[in-house]
Amino acid sequence: MTTTDYLNYIQDKLQNSFDIKHKQVVVSGATMHLFFADTMANLGAISEYIVFPLLAMSRAPLSVDEVKGQVLFAGVVGDVQSPEDAVMHILSGNVVLLFDGFAEALFCDTRKIATRAVETSTNEPVIRGSKESFNEELMDNVSLLRKRIKTPDFVLEVFQVGKQSNTPVVLAYIKGLAPPRLIATMRKKLTAMEIEYLTDPSFIEEQIKHKWTMFDTVGFTERPDSVTAKLFEGKIVILVEGSSSAITAPYFFVEHFHAPDDYYLNKYMVNFHRLLRFFAYLVAVLLPGFYIALVTYHHSLIPIRFVIRMSSSRVGVPFPTVMELLLMMAFFEFSREAGKRLPPTIGQPLSIVSALILGEAAIGAGLTSEITIVITGIFATASYLNPKLNGSVTIGAVIFIFSSTILGLHGFWICAVLLIAHLGSLSSCGYPYLYPIGTVKKLNLSSQDVVLRGDLRHISYRLLR
Q: What is the 3-state secondary structure (H, E, C) of the chain?
A: CCHHHHHHHHHHHHCCCCCEEEEEEEECCEEEEEEEECCCECHHHHHHHHHHHHHCCCCCCCCHHHHHHHHCCCCCEEECCCHHHHHHHHHCCCEEEEECCCCCEEEECCECCCCCCCCECCCCCCCCCCCECCCCCHHHHHHHHHHHCCCCCEEEEEEEECCCCCEEEEEEEEECCECHHHHHHHHHHHHHCCCCCCCCHHHHHHHHCCCCCCCCCCEEECCHHHHHHHHHCCCEEEEECCCCCEEEECCCHHHHHCCHHHHCCCHHHHHHHHHHHHHHHHHHHHHHHHHHHHHHCCHHHCCHHHHHHHHHHCCCCCCCHHHHHHHHHHHHHHHHHHHHHCCHHHHHHHHHHHHHHHHHHHHHCCCCCHHHHHHHHHHHHHHHCCHHHHHHHHHHHHHHHHHHHHHCHHHHHHHHHHHHHHHHHCEECCEECCCCCCCHHHECCCCCECCCECCHHHCCCCCEC
What pLDDT shows up at residue 186? Answer: 92
Res 447 pLDDT > 70: no
For 262-303, what is each residue's pLDDT tens digit? 888 888 998 999 999 999 999 999 999 999 999 888 888 888
Most confident of 52-66, 209-223, 333-347: 209-223
> What are the extents of the domains in the chain?
3-108, 138-251, 267-425
pLDDT category at 334 given cuts 50, 70, 90 is: confident
Res 223 pLDDT > 90: yes
pLDDT category at 373 given cuts 50, 70, 90 is: confident
Res 349 pLDDT > 70: no
For 117-128, what is each residue's pLDDT tens digit? 888 888 888 888
Res 30 pLDDT > 90: no
Res 104 pLDDT > 70: yes
For 401-444, what is each residue's pLDDT tens digit? 999 999 999 999 999 999 999 999 998 888 889 877 655 555 55
What pLDDT shows up at residue 96? Answer: 92
What pLDDT shows up at residue 306? Answer: 81
